[in-house]
Amino acid sequence: MDELLPMKLFPWVRLLYANPDFWNPKLNTLFQKYPELCPYLDIPVQHASPRILKLMERGYDIQKIKRKLLRLRQDVPTIALRTSVMVGFPSESDDDFNMLLDFIEDVRFERLGVFTYSKEEDTRAAQLPDDVPSDEKERRKDIVMQIQWSIAREFAESKINQTIDVIIEENAGEYFSGRSGWDAPEIDCFVRIHSEKALEIGKFYKVKIDSAEELDLVGKVR
Residues of the chain with pLDDT under 50: none
Q: What is the pLDDT of residue 4?
A: 76
Q: What pTM was computed for the model?
A: 0.92
CA distance 87 to 47: 8
pLDDT value, residue 41 = 97
pLDDT at 58: 87
DSSP conformation class of 139? H
Residue 219 and residue 180 in contact, taking contact as beta carbons nearer than 8 Å: no
**In this predicted structure, what is the pLDDT of residue 148?**
97
Q: What are the structural domains of the chain?
A: 5-158 (3.80.30.20), 163-221 (2.40.50.140)
Q: Please report the pLDDT score of residue 1 as a whole number.
A: 66
